[in-house]
Amino acid sequence: MNKLRHGALALLLATTTAVYAGLFSTSASAASTAAELDRDARQALQTLYKSNPLALDISKKAKAVLVFPNIVKAGFVFGGAYGEGALLKGKTVAGYYNSVSASWGLQAGAQSFGYAVFLMNDKALQYLDKSEGWEIGVGPTVVAVNEGVAKNLSTSTLKDDAYAFIFDQQGLMASLSIEGTKVTRIKR
């Protein structure tokens, strides 16, 4: 019985290691140049605006938009996600950031997606600029906009510091996990 547990543990460890190796080697090889990130961020926003008119309305009131066009997430019990993006102030790129998260729990699979965080006020922008890495859920209030939230949200009811939209999901990830996402400024 003890050998069986050690064998199962070894298999789990090997599988998790393989998932992480694949995730982070893909992320490292996908590291973009500034021009590629600029292009991808703008294209991702256009995709979001076409599929969600509320995002376009909110963008007109936002001070800036933090766009991550391609986040890759994979896991088997332990998981992780990584992607790079750009901060857009109007049509100007004001900086580059990465998004990193780790998770554990009942999960298996891989997926990619994009997300955009609309920073609505100076408080949110200053926090992003001054923090050594913004852990979403700490600092400015971020509301994840899903279908339920969107039904009760309009540009006249915007009161929170930031609104996040997830879009362009691909792949399959069965997940019930504890996660944290950290956004950190990078050089490009």
Half-sphere exposure of 30 (CA within 13 A, CB side): 17
User: What pTM was estimated for this model as a whole?
Assistant: 0.74
- Dist. CA 83–CA 159, nearest whole Å: 28
Rounded to a whole number, what is the distance in angstroms from the first to the last CA of the chain?
53
Burial of 158 per CB tally in 10 Å (0-12, 13-18, 19+): middle
At residue 10's C-alpha, the angle toward residues 4 and 11, to 5°, is 90
Domain count within the chain = 1
Sign of CA dihedral 141, 144, 150, 151: negative
- Dist. CA 70–CA 41, nearest whole Å: 9
**H runs (alpha helix) in the chain:** 2-29, 34-51, 53-59, 122-130, 147-151
Q: Tens-of-pLDDT digits for all 188 residues of the chain?
A: 545 444 444 444 444 444 444 544 444 444 579 999 999 999 999 999 998 899 999 999 999 999 999 999 888 888 889 999 999 999 899 999 999 988 877 778 888 889 999 999 999 899 888 887 777 666 566 777 755 444 445 555 567 888 888 888 777 765 544 346 888 999 88
At residue 157's C-alpha, the angle toward residues 153 and 161, to 5°, is 95
Residue 90 lies in domain:
2-186
